[in-house]
Amino acid sequence: MKRSITTLSFVLCVLCIAKQSECYKILAIIATPSYSHQIPFRQLWLELHNRGHEILLVTTNPIPNINSPNFTQINLSQSYKVWRALNFVEMRFNGESWLQIMEKYGISTCLACMENLFNNKEFKNVYAPDSDAKFDILLTEYHCGPASAGLAHRFDVPIIALSSTELTAVNEYIVGGLVLPSHESTWELENHTGSNSPFFKRLWNFVTFWRFLHSFYTEMFSANQQLAEKYLGPLPPLIDIMKNTSMLFVNQAAATTPARPQLSNVISFTSFHIQDKLPPLPKDLQKFVDGAENGFIYFSLGSNAMSSALPMEIQRVFCDVFATLPYRVVWKYDKDLPGKPDNVYTAEWLPQQSILARPNVKLFIYQGGRQSSDEAIHYGVPLLGFAILGDQDYQVGRMEVLGVGKRLDIRTVTKEALKSSIIELITNKEYKERIINIRNIVQDTPYDSVKNLAWWTEYVIRTKGAPHLRSTITSQPWCQRYDLDIVAFLTIVAFLIASSTLYLIVKLRIYFHKQICPSQKLKAN
């Protein structure tokens, strides 16, 4: 009996040691001060924690009610001051494209967010030279600046890159993916892309986009290199560190994304943030939507654009149209709405998923956010999109192409266009049918997507960075990657052959002309 107890104790100890050896220390950083960049990954952090891993999450939006010694959060919410200083609605009405916004404000904004990251007192203690902190992997978002990639060198760990929406072309190029300026998946070019675009439009896209990428790489990476080395000491080039990105977790659904070649180390996911248990509506809002005999419309421009920032004449367009509709309207409006119609309910904050889950919601008027698109598909609500910034032109365009919504320009919308679009989307049942069909496709997966990402995270650690999955194209210069040197060479050769042939033809014509003309003169004489 005593021997059996000893043997059992030994086995349990071995199992505990084995279990402990599978527990990893994970550093996760999302420094972008935007709630929509944070929530897609929350379920991943919780799943990794439930698997027994130790998590250090550096975020602008800490997860509430986490009380665990193995789950530490560092709050970067002060970065919202930087983000809120940008008036995206005003930029939209000034006609500034996303590329122009990135060139004018992107570098300074991203650097400020990176400064907040490295200046944070708690985080300084983590990466300080004399710190004994050790990690097995770094999961970080590249959107807000590549300086965070320097931490992979500091802790000598592999990187998994995170993207809350489709990859930016800047990051796509670094990791060896294809940059296709005129393909509809290149969302940074907004409405300038599409299938079989005219030659001169594609020429404009090519020149504009590659010029932007060159200037962005030159300025953004130089500034981030200096910032990272200011806090971490000498580093290899950040681009070289990022080229060794082991894997990329990208928030995109195949059913809503235009198909294109994809790297083997890109893992797609979608709708992690959809809640199983929805919070109840406030009592006054509950009464308002329950009393909507013909149903209601939900209107929100998201968390980065304020409805109150819209020009007053545009606000009046919405109010005047809403007042004529037989539907009630729930409008996320951050101030008191002047001249609010009787059938409109406003609030600064609204439980969006709880609203979209209501059976009598007829339409979602939105700004084209990635997470909002996912929620609308999940709850089967047709969409009317008014893009404001970033990838929203792309998202709204995709919803229109898929036949689940329509898009209008917030700068030029008229009462007639707004009302006719609303009536069309609500009364034409095909929009509802198509969005439900897409929802069924999105949800038809052979595995749990959250557990799948957690498994790949562990896989990268187990395989010491999964180098076999990385694209070898990253080592090729730009011209070789797209065979432009070959195209240039063949063009020159073709030109030389054509010009030489033409030269010989001209010389022969001159020769024969000289030979024929004298003989004709002799005959004439």
Q: How far is CA 365 from the centre of its chain?
A: 21
Gap between the Cα atoms of 383 and 385, Å rounded: 6
Q: How confident is the model at residue 475 (pLDDT cuts 50, 70, 90)?
A: confident
| pTM exceeds cut of 0.75 | yes
Average pLDDT over residues 167-174: 89
DSSP result, 104-132: IIIHHHHHHHHHHHHH-HHHHHHHSTT--
Q: How confident is the model at residue 302 (pLDDT cuts 50, 70, 90)?
A: confident
Chain segment 192-207, per-residue pLDDT in tens: 888 888 999 999 999 9
Q: Give the model's pLDDT for residue 522.
A: 52
Q: Report the distance separating Cα 234 and Cα 324, nearest Å.
A: 64
Contact 465, 158 (CB under 8 A): yes
Work out the pLDDT band at 1, boundaries 50, 70, 90: very low
For position 469, what pLDDT does the model report? 92
pLDDT score of 6 = 47
Contact call for residues 99 and 208 (beta carbons, < 8 A):
yes
Q: How far apart are CA 405 and CA 389, in angstroms?
A: 18
Between CA 298 and CA 362 the distance in angstroms is 8
Sole residue written with tokens 């998946």:
185
Q: What is the mean pLDDT of residues 409-418?
A: 94
Percent of the chain at pLDDT exceeding 70: 94
Least confident of 282-291, 413-422, 511-520: 511-520
**pLDDT tens across 81-121, in order?**
888 888 888 888 988 888 888 888 888 888 999 999 999 99
For residue 195, what pLDDT is reported?
Answer: 81
Residue-wise pLDDT tens digits, 49-78: 999 999 999 999 999 998 889 999 999 999
Cβ atoms of 304 and 373 within 8 Å: the answer is no
Q: Long-range contacts for 117-121 (Cβ within 8 Å, ≥24 apart)?
A: 117/29, 117/31, 117/58, 117/76, 117/79, 117/147, 117/148, 118/147, 118/227, 118/228, 118/230, 118/231, 118/232, 120/58, 120/74, 120/76
Contact 31, 47 (CB under 8 A): no
- What is the mean pLDDT of the segment spanning 419-441? 96
Tokens (6 digits) for 324: 């004529």
Q: What is the pLDDT of residues 28-57, one digit of tens each?
A: 999 999 888 999 999 999 999 999 999 999
Q: What is the pLDDT of residue 518?
A: 64
Has residue 321 got a pLDDT over 90?
A: yes
Identify the structural domains of the chain with CATH numbers, from first to last.
2-273+449-475 (3.40.50.2000), 283-443 (3.40.50.2000)
pLDDT at 11 > cutoff 50: no
Average pLDDT rounded to a whole number, residues 316-338: 93
Average pLDDT of the residues in 247-269: 91
pLDDT cut 90: percent of the chain above it? 65
* Single-letter amino acid, residue 42: R
Q: Is residue 140's pLDDT more than 50?
A: yes
Q: What counts of helices (H) and strands (E) characterise the chain?
A: 22, 13
Residue 3 has pLDDT above 60, yes or no: no
Question: How confident is the model at residue 88, as a pLDDT?
Answer: 87
Average pLDDT, whole number, for the chain? 89
Q: Token pair for residue 382? A: 């047709």
Residue 263 confidence (pLDDT): 92
The pLDDT score that the predictor gives to residue 304 is 83
Range 385-408 average pLDDT: 92
pLDDT category of residue 318 using cuts at 50, 70 and 90: very high
519 pLDDT more than 70: no
Q: How high is the pLDDT of residue 525?
A: 54
In order, the DSSP letters of 295-362 are -EEEE--TTTS-GGGS-HHHHHHHHHHHHHSSSEEEEE-SS--TT--TTEEEES---HHHHHTSTTEE
Residue with the two structure tokens 């997470």: 371
Which pLDDT value is given to residue 102?
86
pLDDT in tens, 481-514: 888 889 899 999 999 999 999 999 988 888 887 7
**Per-residue pLDDT band at 301 (split at 50, 70, 90):** very high
